[in-house]
Amino acid sequence: MVKIVSWNVNSLRIRLPELARLAAEEKPDLVCLQEVKAKEEDFPFADVRAAGFEHIALYTMAGYNGVAVLARRPLVDVRRFDWAGKADARHIAVVCAEGIEIHNIYVPAGGDIPDPRENPAFARKLAFLEELNAFFAARAEHNRNNRVLICGDFNVAPSAFDVWGHKQLLKIVSHTPEETSRLQKWQRESGLEDAVRLQHPEPEKIFTWWSYRNPNWQTNDKGRRLDHIWISPPLVEHLQNAFVLKEYRAGARPSDHVPTGVVFAGL
């Protein structure tokens, strides 16, 4: 069995107790983190290794962003990618011991105004999604024939069942048609399947993010599914479970995102 978890921790150093909890309770073989918010010399290597993850691949920067892959077994073929005109530590790829090519990606949030003419951050988000689409679509045959997993905080809730209110959010960044159409095109043309939806089909509503601005998030449940795990056909054959750990949003110092994971059998 292989368990892989993806999680936007919104500052790893703040969330170290929760990472230790995740390691102890869920026992993942591999954890993909986004928004690490620590340059390499400030990364808490000793704490991460104490949690059981001896092998660490990083693409980080000072102050914000940053992605990391933590593993109990060796990682090889580490690659770092930049998109849409900036080197801002948002995409790292590795091959894990089980022969899975893993891409850990943090898509830009895009600001508050859903108009690329008025908001450069939103324009860059759309360009980022388009460039990822082109890259993975060019590798579609490779994806169909190999063990490939793409995960991370994509900052887009693609369907009406991935948000608390579809009509209310159509003009809110993360659920606009400009974003959802690009995300869906990227997944479709990459030849990958949405692992969570394979296990939890629509119309079940699933969320992975609840705003810090909403103190009553548990009662009104106004969430969005911004975090995703996509897998290739050779991995679909082995998919045993996909899950969202909502309870991590209720911790003492929680991230606004919760861990999302998959379990494969027979690899």
pLDDT by residue (tens digit) across 20-32? Answer: 999 999 999 999 9
Tell me the C-alpha distance between 89 and 82, whole Å: 7
Q: What does DSSP say about strands 76-83 and 101-106: parallel, antiparallel, or unpaired?
A: unpaired
pLDDT tier at 132, thresholds 50, 70, 90: very high
Residue-range definition of the domain harbouring residue 245: 2-264
Q: Which two tokens stand for residue 91?
A: 């995409």
Q: How much is the pLDDT for 143?
A: 96
For residues 78-92, average pLDDT? 97
Helices 120-137 & 177-190 angle (0-180, nearest 10): 10
User: Residue 66 contacts by C-beta under 8 Å, 6 or more apart in sequence?
Assistant: 34, 35, 36, 37, 38, 39, 58, 59, 60, 89, 106
Confidence band, pLDDT 50/70/90 cuts, at residue 252? confident
**Domain count along the chain:** 1
- The per-residue pLDDT for range 180-229, each reduced to its tens digit, is 999 999 999 999 999 999 999 999 999 999 999 998 999 999 999 999 99
Cα–Cα distance between 265 and 267 in angstroms, integer? 6
pLDDT, tens digit, for every residue of 162-181?
999 999 999 999 999 999 99
Residues 6+ apart with CB under 8 A from 139: 190
Cα 99 from Cα 239, distance rounded (Å): 15
Percent of the chain with pLDDT over 70: 100
pLDDT of residue 261: 98
The set of residues, in sequence order, having a beta carbon less than 8 Å from that of 173 and lying 6+ positions away, is 109, 110, 111, 112, 113, 114, 122, 125, 179
Q: How much is the pLDDT for 215?
A: 87
Indicate if the pLDDT at residue 63 is higher than 90: no
188: its two tokens: 């479709």
Which whole number is the average pLDDT over 62-80? 96
| Assigned token pair, 84 | 């849409």
For the chain, list the strands marked E by DSSP: 2-8, 30-34, 55-59, 67-71, 76-83, 86-95, 101-106, 148-153, 193-194, 209-210, 223-224, 227-231, 239-244, 260-264
Which pLDDT band, with edges at 50, 70 and 90, does 50 fall under?
A: very high
Quick one: average pLDDT of 138-152?
A: 97
Query: What is the b/e burial string over 74-86, where b = at least 16 CB atoms within 10 angstroms of the residue's CB?
Result: ebeeeeeeebbee
Q: What is the CATH number of the domain that holds 34?
A: 3.60.10.10
Contacts of 78 (CB under 8 A, 6+ apart): 57, 92, 93, 94
Amino acid identity of residue 6, one-letter, is S
Whether 43 has a pLDDT exceeding 90, the answer reads: yes
**CB of 147 closer than 8 Å to CB of 234:** yes
CA 163, 165, 166, 170 torsion: positive or negative? Answer: negative
pLDDT grade, residue 245 (50/70/90)? very high
Q: Count CA atoms within 13 Å of residue 143 on its CB side.
A: 22
Query: Where residue 262 falls among pLDDT bands split at 50, 70, 90?
Result: very high
d(CA 43, CA 7): 17
State residue 144's pLDDT score: 94
